[in-house]
Amino acid sequence: MSQRSCLSVILAAGEGTRMKSVMPKVLHAIAGLPMVAHVVKAAEAAGATGLALVIGHGAEEMRKAAQKFAPKAETFVQEVRLGTAHAVLAAREAISKGYDDILVMFGDTPLIDAGALAAARQKLAEGAAVAVIGFRPPNPTGYGRLIEKGGRLVAIREEKDCSEAEKKIGFCNAGMMAVAGKHALRLLDKVGNNNAKGEFYLTDIVEIAGAEGLDVVATEAGFENALGINNRAELAEAEGIWQARRRREAMLAGVTLIAPETVYFSHDTEIGADTIVEPNVWFGPGVKIATGATIHAFSHLTGATIGENSEVGPFARLRPGADLRKRAKVGNFCEVKQSTVEEGAKVNHLTYIGDARVGAGANIGAGTITCNYDGYSKFFTDIGEGAFIGSNSSLVAPVSIGKGGYIASGSVITESVPDDALAFGRARQKTLPGKGKELRERFASVAAARKKAAE
């Protein structure tokens, strides 16, 4: 089957009014990725060599989004919605290119598994003209039933048209199917609209193909594969299923999740074996974690790279461009953005590091901030290897701290510091004996006078 060409036609023209959103339904995200992009990924994993997106509502927005997750996809607009077969035929130009297999999928079924698609394609490779993907829901009420005889699929019967015996069938239509490319356009063109809604139904090709003596079969996928998203509640349900799958994959790959149900991955999270993730951690897009790291509780990471045996959190915020090298540490209530924390460096607590380099083995004291923004432009702070930055220091960029430099606590540093130098950037302390008591008494007197006046 690997030599067979395949076109995936993904129907994504629905308005999704039940989502209560101005955004096209299929652009709502699961694990940080539009649900239709999950469908695209499954199609590609199943061997699709071409992609055709059939769009309608929000067509321009859909095209722009598709440039990110499916830059090679062709887009076709279904101007008027006249049923699923009509939607597939909107991609007639792509279908006519002579692909061996045509996969018909839906943009609102983000949990479809590549294995289910590959199984349907395999049936085409074995000689079937049509392979319909079926599933067994806990309750089949409302679903079209797959009617089989002698190992062949003879019809897809909507529940309202089922006999009492057929209603007892638990094998239902998931909506997706694979069609042999050499038959696809002919079968689709034979679909009529002689029904109550006057629409062209894709399911009709089962009986059309059967009447031609072609082989039509059904394959079975898990219930989750067919889960369609129509509203926000179903979106959340799909997110939960996706996360559960990903957590299990991570744990089976050697990652320790202390409380799996509280950890949320992004669609592209990469996490190495022997990493420990404590409860309530959020991975946004673009996070890569090497082996042996520890991510402590309540940390939020996006666009960050974490080196081997590094430590993050608890309550740490790593923003895009954060790059922690081997054995680096970013501790509690710290934020790092667009900065490199080199091997063995420590940013322990209550600190902001932005647009900076923290050299290997450097120590950043509590309350330190890099002042990287003047309201108009960003500036860089370079902290050398082995430098020590005392607590509550402000490094006003652009500025550099040399190798082994030592910054006294409470300093505001506005000029670069040479290697191994000690820098103070604070006013000289002045102590006035007895003035503290005098000041308190004066403040108390003023407060009492105000209170009396108010009475």
What HEC string does 42-101 produce?
HHHHCCCCEEEEEEECEHHHHHHHHHHHCCCCEEEECCCCCCHHHHHHCCHHHHCCCCCE
Q: Give the span between the Cα atoms of 174 and 228, in whole angstroms.
A: 9
Strand ranges (E), 204-255:
216-220
pLDDT at 103: 98
pLDDT at 1: 52
Evaluated on CA atoms 168, 169, 171, 174, the torsion sign reads negative
Structure token digits, residue 143: 């679903």
Q: Give the span between the Cα atoms of 124 and 145, in whole angstroms.
A: 22
DSSP for residue 264 = B
Q: Which amino acid is at 236?
A: A
Q: Which amino acid is at 428?
A: R
The domain 246-423 is classified under which CATH number: 3.30.70.1090, 2.40.37.20, 1.20.1090.10, 2.160.10.10? 2.160.10.10
Q: Which amino acid is at 440?
A: R
Does the pTM of the predicted model rise above 0.85?
yes
CATH of domain 6-226: 3.90.550.10
Establish whether 349 is a catalytic residue.
Answer: yes
pLDDT at 179: 97
At 215, is the secondary structure helix, strand, or coil?
A: coil
Residue in the block written with tokens 């604070």: 426
* 106 strand-pairing partners: 11
What Å distances lie between residue 2 and 9, 42, 45, 102, CA to CA?
Answer: 19, 16, 12, 14
Q: Which amino acid is at 133?
A: I
Backbone angles phi, psi at 351, to 5 degrees: -135, 150
One pLDDT digit (tens) per residue for the chain, 455 residues: 558 999 999 999 877 789 999 899 999 999 999 999 999 999 999 999 999 999 987 888 999 999 999 999 999 999 888 899 999 999 999 999 999 999 999 999 999 999 999 999 999 999 999 999 999 999 988 889 999 998 899 999 888 888 888 899 999 999 999 999 999 999 999 999 888 788 899 999 999 999 999 999 999 999 998 899 999 999 999 999 999 999 999 999 999 999 999 999 999 999 999 999 999 999 999 999 999 999 999 999 999 999 999 999 999 999 999 999 999 999 999 999 999 999 999 999 999 999 999 999 999 999 999 999 998 999 999 999 999 999 999 999 999 999 999 999 999 999 999 999 999 998 887 888 998 899 889 989 999 999 889 88
Domain boundaries, given as residue ranges, for the chain: 6-226, 246-423
pLDDT at 436: 86
Catalytic residue among 28, 38, 183, 349: 349
Q: Which amino acid is at 268?
A: D
271 close to 291: Cβ distance less than 8 angstroms: no
Alpha carbon of residue 107 to chain centroid: 16
* 257 strand-pairing partners: 277
What Å distances lie between residue 437 and 14, 352, 440, 448, 449, CA to CA?
Answer: 74, 37, 5, 17, 19
